[in-house]
């Protein structure tokens, strides 16, 4: 329990941030669990600075006291990266300014607490798009998506958070501010320190702002829900569409039959994509930015939609596409996306679950799913798997609903999923980060030399180990 010295430290934080800037007791409830409910904790206090200078002052005080600090964004993480039992939570939600948006240069400078939705809206006002998107966009923040190197549905065309970021501002463990807010596409001046902090989950420094690339907003979308006879046929469709559109496929999402079954059970309001049940259902979207692809013809048809329709028709004739529905209105498109974005909602809360986020080469997705079906049956015969995937970039969200709440069983299932993904040339973590959940995976599969370098970097930047201790890098 905190003693008198601890109370004095909180008083110093109150003097720095004001009474509303330091939350204790029941006021910390909103920072006491992760989104899934898998992790729950009681913070010592929640600190809420409103500017980079205040973050720096907080970390100077924490370093002086040797007190651990856990940075926190929109609290939508899935791997326990913000767990903070008895520790100070550093909430970045009040750093919520868009410092500048430069349409000509197609960049935006935003603070760590700005949500993805705000970035989307700000870019749209200038006919631009910030393409990073996923279901939690209304609460996920700049600091969080960079700290986990988040991905989402549009990685296929635009890349993950790392690929969209040109520069960052970060506060180090000793309170110094690292200003790497470059707007340059080319800056060949030594080590790329920016990338150290992206994906580090707040263990090396606290990201307080970033520079992101923006892109022309598509003038038209061609969106379809497609029933395929096999995953290999789906990959053929992706390659054809990429060739015919010059790489304009933005999303290629996989929803197998069991996902559609669960969707009908949990969200009947969204409707079934097709009257019949199919083994492979895809959500496909192409974004057209050129007027020639987006301008309607005399008959009202849109060229990019015509291309998608023609490709699907050819594959239906070949027998590899079983059925397809093309969105003919904005409402239809939104409904299609709602089915995919309900994934987190319909996955969580169904009893004991093992949740894995892996990536494999595109042509090995089927091998992973088949292999894990057999492995799961051997480990827990009564268990069932549940899958949804960003098929265009090989990112599989594979979950198992197990017959009992057993940490040892969970570890064995996760170990099998990790082992198979790595054996297929993939990764045991695609876009959710490491946090606490995947520390064992890091021990098992990360290259030992890489782990040694990661520990050395952690020690160099945070010698007292006060930044989000116990996460990302196994002891």
What would the pLDDT profile of 322-331 be if each residue is shown by its tens digit? 999 999 999 9
pLDDT digits (tens, 9 = 90+) for 158-185: 999 999 999 999 999 999 999 999 999 9
Q: pLDDT class for 4, splitting at 50, 70, 90?
A: very low
Is the pLDDT reported for residue 2 higher than 50? Answer: no
Backbone angles phi, psi at 311, to 5 degrees: -65, -40
Question: What distance in Å separates the CA atoms of residue 207 and residue 194, rounded to the nearest whole number?
Answer: 10
- Owner of token pair 């239906």: 316
What are the structural domains of the chain?
4-93 (3.30.43.10), 98-216 (3.30.465.10), 220-343 (3.30.70.2190), 348-432 (3.30.70.2740)
Question: Are the C-beta atoms of residues 205 and 467 closer than 8 Å to each other?
Answer: yes
**Coil vs helix vs strand at 196:** helix
Mean pLDDT, residues 103-116: 98
Residue 47 has pLDDT above 80, yes or no: yes
What's the rounded Cα separation, in Å, for the pair 33 and 26?
Answer: 13
Higher pLDDT, 300 or 218: 218
Compute the CA torsion angle 133, 153, 398, 262 (nearest 10 deg): 90
Q: 299 in helix, strand or coil?
A: coil
What would the mean pLDDT of 429-454 be, rounded to a whole number?
95
Residue 104: how many other CB atoms lie within 10 Å: 6
Phi-psi label, residue 394: left if phi above 0, alpha if psi -120 to 50, beta otherwise: left
In this prediction, residue 3 has a pLDDT band, given cuts at 50, 70 and 90, of very low
Predicted structure pTM score: 0.93
- Stretch 91-115: mean pLDDT: 98
Distance CA 268, CA 270 (A): 5
* Residues 376-406: tens digit of each pLDDT: 999 999 999 999 999 999 999 999 999 999 9
| Alpha-carbon span 367 to 328, nearest angstrom | 35
Determine the Cα angle at 253 with ends 249 and 257, to 5°: 145
Query: For the chain, what percent of residues have pLDDT higher than 90?
Result: 90
Q: What percent of the chain has pLDDT over 70?
A: 99
Contact yes or no for 202/70 (Cβ under 8 A): yes
pLDDT at position 357? 95
- For the segment 183-194, what is each residue's pLDDT rounded down to a tens digit? 999 999 999 999
Q: What are phi and psi for residue 112, nearest 5 degrees?
A: -65, -30
Mean predicted confidence (pLDDT) in 436-463: 96
Residue 351: its pLDDT value, please? Answer: 78
pLDDT tens for residues 272-294? 999 999 999 999 999 999 999 99
CA distance 265 to 56: 49
pLDDT of residue 25: 94
Task: Check pLDDT > 90 for residue 135.
Answer: no
């Amino acid at each position: 329990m905190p003693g008198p010295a601890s109370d004095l430290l909180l008083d110093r934080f109150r003097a720095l941030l004001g009474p509303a800037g330091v939350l204790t007791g029941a006021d910390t409830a909103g920072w006491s669990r992760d989104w899934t409910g898998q992790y729950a904790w009681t913070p010592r206090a929640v600190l809420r600075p409103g500017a980079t200078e205040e973050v720096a002052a907080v970390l100077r005080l924490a370093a002086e006291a040797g007190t651990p600090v856990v940075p926190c964004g929109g609290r939508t993480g899935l791997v326990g990266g913000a767990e903070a039992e008895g520790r100070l939570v550093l909430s970045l939600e009040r750093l919520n300014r868009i410092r500048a948006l430069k349409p000509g240069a197609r960049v935006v400078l935003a603070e760590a607490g700005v949500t993805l939705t705000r970035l989307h809206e700000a870019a749209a006002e200038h006919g631009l798009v910030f393409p990073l998107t996923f279901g939690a966009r209304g609460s996920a923040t700049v600091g969080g998506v960079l700290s986990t190197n988040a991905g989402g549905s549009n990685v296929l065309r635009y890349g993950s958070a790392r690929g969209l970021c040109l520069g960052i501002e970060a506060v180090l463990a000793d309170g110094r501010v690292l200003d790497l807010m470059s707007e340059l596409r080319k800056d060949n001046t030594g080590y790329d320190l920016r990338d150290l902090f992206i994906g580090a989950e707040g263990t090396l420094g606290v990201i307080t702002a970033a520079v992101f690339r923006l892109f022309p907003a598509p003038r038209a979308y061609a969106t379809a829900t497609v029933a395929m006879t096999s995953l290999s046929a789906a990959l053929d469709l992706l390659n054809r569409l990429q060739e015919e559109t010059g790489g304009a496929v933005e999303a290629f999402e996989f929803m197998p039959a069991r996902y559609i079954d669960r969707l009908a059970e949990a969200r009947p309001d969204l409707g079934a994509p097709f009257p019949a049940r199919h083994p492979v259902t895809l959500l496909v979207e192409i974004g057209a930015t050129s007027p020639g692809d987006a301008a309607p013809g005399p008959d009202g048809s849109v060229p990019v939609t015509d291309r998608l329709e023609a490709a699907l028709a050819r594959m239906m004739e070949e027998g590899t596409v079983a059925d397809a529905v093309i969105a003919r209105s904005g409402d239809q498109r939104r409904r299609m996306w709602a089915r995919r974005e309900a994934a987190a909602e319909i996955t969580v809360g169904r009893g004991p679950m093992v949740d894995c986020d892996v990536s494999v080469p595109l042509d090995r997705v089927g091998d992973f799913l088949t292999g894990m079906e057999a492995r799961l049956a051997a480990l827990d015969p009564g268990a069932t798997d549940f899958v949804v995937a960003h098929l265009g970039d090989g990112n599989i969200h594979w979950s198992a609903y197990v017959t009992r709440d057993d940490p040892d069983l969970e570890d064995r299932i996760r170990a099998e999923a990790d082992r198979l993904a790595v054996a297929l040339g993939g990764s045991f973590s695609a876009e959710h980060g490491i946090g606490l959940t995947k520390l064992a995976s890091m021990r098992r599969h990360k290259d030992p030399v890489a782990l040694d370098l990661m520990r050395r970097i952690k020690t160099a930047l945070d010698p007292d180990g006060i930044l989000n201790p116990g996460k990302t890098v196994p002891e």
